[in-house]
Structure 1
């Protein structure tokens, strides 16, 4: 077998969508990710290939000669992969579901309920894969994904909002009585760098440097640090309910910042009547109430 040295499929999908739309923003809308995620994918591809793929033009992005050649190849390749997957799915009986989900959502929301899914639907064989990278949670690569959306998924997708993204601060209960916001250590997540500035503004708390404090790779690590008494972390309310109930962390302020985004189940609309996916949707609907 010939060895093929290929770039990341995630980066190629970002590039192909940006090249087709001539816009990072429109590509992000199609892929249900942020423009920053698309830009990082394209930048990683350019660094790996050692050549620029786009130039800026008045009408938007313009392809370089190298970018134009790669776009043609990537578009044809992705179209062939998509066609092959459709053929395979039509021929194979549906016995398993391969689900992609955010790591934090899977560990804090899905897994505590996993036993109930198995009790309700013992016939389902669910393979759960997690990632903190939104570009890896792509409908089509999985049977379904649980990703963050603003209720405007691209055409052709069925979207089922599950829980809202609502942010609130948490800290170790022992630190609660002595909390002084102007002296507090704010713990940040690189996944959501603007949460503190937005929450402080909504809570009308002034005199606090929203950019100060240590940064962690994930929300989960920031929450762990808060539980250990290292500072105040910004949490997503639906994913910290168990920690609050058990007293692992406490809420130092009543303000909860509501956003327009949700953790959302996404899959191809053409598979709406798939019995396995219908069973999963029904179970999720019961869980979210």
Structure 2
């Protein structure tokens, strides 16, 4: 059987880094190469495949159409090769991901699926952090985080995990008391429960229902979505939360107020990491699983 020629693996590694980091400069820094040495590696790979993988202009390298097609064809096999080597390597240690997660997302969406991740990548273990200021700690004490926010800073690599609608959620007794027609006088006597991560959701909800002038009796702020839902179930107020939170809670004590009125949320859940962190194996494994799993 004839042996197929393999491409120069160091050149292939350089190519993959440039594409995934989105920058030749960042790739050179990661590989501890000079720009000219990186360029030579790419030149060797282009000679091997007989295609121009990048266009070069003004000291920058832009992926060509042929380069994009090459990446799409090769990337799955590179990942499969890494997994194959990992599965046959008895001396590999556990790999750890330091992940920041909001507790409600963790309880409702992440933990019910983590057994799938463990089966797929048994060496990958997660250190979970539900502390404050998750975004500020990404790239420092956290490898990545799942946060609830508007549009993230373009300095991060970000994947939007959902689109949401805002709902007013409360006990059945409170729904019966208020009724299903928005009444600003009735609502002004109520307490509203607002999550610290969703400050503008109440504004969006009031605007959509034509209640811009609503001033409730009180607004209570929480840093835990789970506790907001429990407070609402206990009749302590009206929680302004995402419809997805309501559905996944499956709490028969809760009901939606004015449920026929759709209100688009200003916020989504996002997976966030620093771009160069995608080259770290635990981040890449979790990122790819999260996207494929459709959490």
Tell me the matched-pair count: 195
- Structure label with greater radius of gyration: 2
**Which residue among 277, 285, 290 is the counterpart of 1:279?**
285
1:21-60 aligned at under 5 Å gives the runs none
Measure the CA separation in 2 of the matches of 1:120 and 1:227.
37
Judging changes above 3 Å, is the alpha-carbon distance between structure 1 residues 255 and 287 closer, same or farther for their aligned structure 2 residues?
farther
Counterpart in 2 of 1:95? 95
Offset of residue 233 of structure 1: 0.9
CA RMSD of aligned residues (A): 2.8
The answer to whether 1:249 aligns with 2:246 is: no
Question: Where does the alignment leave 5 or more consecutive residues of structure 2 unmatched?
Answer: 1-91
Asked whether the 8 Å contact 2:204–2:265 carries over to 1, the reply is no
> Counterpart in 2 of 1:186?
191
Tell me which residue corresponds to 2:139.
139
- For 1:208 and 1:149, the matched residues in 2 are separated by 24
Distance 2:275 2:132 in 1: 25
User: Does 1:266 find its partner at 2:272?
Assistant: yes
Provide the rounded CA distance (Å) in 2 between the counterparts of 1:259 and 1:165. 5
SS at match of 2:162: strand
1:212 to 201, 214, 217: 217
CA distance in 2, matches of 1:175, 1:199: 18
**Distance (Å, rounded) in 2 between the aligned partners of 1:169 and 1:280:** 33
Q: Which residue does the alignment assign to 1:228?
A: 234
| TM-score normalised by length of structure 2 | 0.57
Query: Over residues 223-250 of structure 1, what are the superposed CA-to-partner deviations in whole Å (9 max), with x where a residue is unaligned?
Result: 211111222111122333222x342311
The 1:137–1:239 alpha-carbon spacing in structure 2 relative to 1, beyond 3 Å, is: farther
Shift in Å, 1:273: 3.7
Q: Per the alignment, in what secondary structure is the counterpart of residue 154 of structure 2?
A: coil
Contact 1:96-1:126 at 8 Å conserved across structures: yes
User: Any conservation in 2 of the 1:99–1:127 contact (CA below 8 Å)?
Assistant: yes
- Aligned-pair CA distance for 1:163: 2.2
TM-score, normalised to structure 1, is 0.58
Map of 2:208 onto structure 1: 202
The answer (yes or no) to whether the contact 1:173–1:247 under 8 Å persists in 2 is no
